[in-house]
Amino acid sequence: MLETRQHETSERLFCLDVLGTIEVLEEKEKIELDFKEKLLGICLEKSILYLSRKPVSVEDVMQKIGFSELAIRNKISQLVKKKKPEKIKGKPFKVIGINR
Protein backbone atom coordinates (compact mmCIF):
# COMPACT_ATOMS: atom_id res chain seq x y z
CA MET A 1 0.00 0.00 0.00
CA LEU A 2 1.35 3.42 -0.98
CA GLU A 3 0.65 4.98 2.42
CA THR A 4 2.57 2.24 4.25
CA ARG A 5 5.58 2.64 1.96
CA GLN A 6 5.42 6.40 2.41
CA HIS A 7 5.53 5.94 6.20
CA GLU A 8 8.48 3.62 6.00
CA THR A 9 10.56 5.76 3.66
CA SER A 10 10.00 9.23 5.07
CA GLU A 11 8.91 10.00 8.63
CA ARG A 12 6.12 12.13 7.11
CA LEU A 13 2.54 11.05 7.11
CA PHE A 14 0.87 10.89 3.73
CA CYS A 15 -2.49 12.15 5.01
CA LEU A 16 -0.83 15.31 6.36
CA ASP A 17 0.52 16.04 2.89
CA VAL A 18 -2.98 15.67 1.44
CA LEU A 19 -4.41 17.90 4.17
CA GLY A 20 -1.76 20.54 3.46
CA THR A 21 -2.60 20.47 -0.24
CA ILE A 22 -6.30 20.90 0.53
CA GLU A 23 -5.58 23.87 2.79
CA VAL A 24 -3.52 25.53 0.04
CA LEU A 25 -6.33 24.88 -2.45
CA GLU A 26 -8.92 26.38 -0.11
CA GLU A 27 -6.82 29.48 0.45
CA LYS A 28 -5.90 29.97 -3.19
CA GLU A 29 -9.38 29.39 -4.59
CA LYS A 30 -11.21 31.05 -1.65
CA ILE A 31 -13.37 27.97 -1.13
CA GLU A 32 -14.28 25.82 1.86
CA LEU A 33 -14.40 22.06 1.40
CA ASP A 34 -17.03 20.25 3.46
CA PHE A 35 -14.98 17.11 4.06
CA LYS A 36 -11.98 18.90 5.57
CA GLU A 37 -13.13 18.40 9.20
CA LYS A 38 -13.54 14.67 8.66
CA LEU A 39 -10.11 14.54 7.00
CA LEU A 40 -8.59 16.38 9.98
CA GLY A 41 -9.92 13.67 12.32
CA ILE A 42 -8.67 10.88 10.09
CA CYS A 43 -5.22 12.47 9.79
CA LEU A 44 -4.97 12.97 13.53
CA GLU A 45 -5.97 9.37 14.25
CA LYS A 46 -3.60 7.89 11.66
CA SER A 47 -0.78 10.12 12.89
CA ILE A 48 -1.22 9.09 16.52
CA LEU A 49 -1.42 5.40 15.60
CA TYR A 50 1.65 5.68 13.39
CA LEU A 51 3.69 7.61 15.95
CA SER A 52 2.65 5.28 18.80
CA ARG A 53 4.59 2.40 17.28
CA LYS A 54 7.05 3.46 19.97
CA PRO A 55 6.04 5.07 23.28
CA VAL A 56 5.11 8.66 22.50
CA SER A 57 3.87 11.56 24.63
CA VAL A 58 1.31 14.21 23.70
CA GLU A 59 4.19 16.70 23.46
CA ASP A 60 6.03 14.40 21.03
CA VAL A 61 2.94 14.13 18.84
CA MET A 62 2.41 17.92 18.94
CA GLN A 63 5.96 18.53 17.77
CA LYS A 64 5.70 16.04 14.91
CA ILE A 65 2.30 16.91 13.45
CA GLY A 66 1.37 20.41 14.63
CA PHE A 67 -2.12 19.71 15.98
CA SER A 68 -3.27 21.34 19.21
CA GLU A 69 -2.71 19.65 22.56
CA LEU A 70 -6.46 19.52 23.19
CA ALA A 71 -7.18 17.86 19.84
CA ILE A 72 -4.44 15.28 20.44
CA ARG A 73 -5.58 14.49 23.98
CA ASN A 74 -9.21 14.13 22.87
CA LYS A 75 -8.27 11.81 20.01
CA ILE A 76 -6.01 9.72 22.26
CA SER A 77 -8.88 9.33 24.74
CA GLN A 78 -11.18 8.14 21.93
CA LEU A 79 -8.55 5.72 20.65
CA VAL A 80 -7.76 4.30 24.10
CA LYS A 81 -11.48 3.59 24.59
CA LYS A 82 -11.38 1.63 21.31
CA LYS A 83 -8.33 -0.25 22.65
CA LYS A 84 -6.07 0.94 19.83
CA PRO A 85 -3.09 2.45 21.68
CA GLU A 86 -2.47 1.74 25.36
CA LYS A 87 -1.75 4.44 27.91
CA ILE A 88 1.53 4.00 29.74
CA LYS A 89 1.32 5.32 33.28
CA GLY A 90 3.63 8.05 34.39
CA LYS A 91 4.04 11.76 33.96
CA PRO A 92 3.73 12.80 31.28
CA PHE A 93 1.67 9.82 30.19
CA LYS A 94 2.56 8.16 26.93
CA VAL A 95 0.72 5.91 24.53
CA ILE A 96 1.97 2.91 22.62
CA GLY A 97 0.29 1.05 19.80
CA ILE A 98 -1.22 -2.35 20.46
CA ASN A 99 0.04 -3.84 17.16
CA ARG A 100 3.57 -2.46 17.16
pLDDT of residue 52: 87
Q: In terms of Cα–Cα distance, which of 82, 13, 99, 88 is closest to 57?
A: 88
Whole-angstrom Cα distance, residue 96 to residue 98?
Answer: 7
pLDDT of residue 88: 75
**Domain range for residue 27?**
2-97
pLDDT of residue 15: 85
pLDDT of residue 5: 55
49: which strand partners? none
pLDDT of residue 90: 67
Q: Write out the chain's pLDDT in tens, 100 residues.
A: 555 555 454 545 788 888 899 999 999 999 999 999 999 999 999 899 888 888 889 999 999 998 999 999 999 999 988 888 777 776 667 877 765 4
The DSSP-derived string for 14-68 is HHHHHHHHHHHHHHHHT---TTHHHHHHHHHHHHHHHHTTS-EEHHHHHHHH---
pLDDT of residue 78: 92
| Residue 35's CATH number | 1.10.10.10
Report the number of distinct structural domains present in the chain. Answer: 1
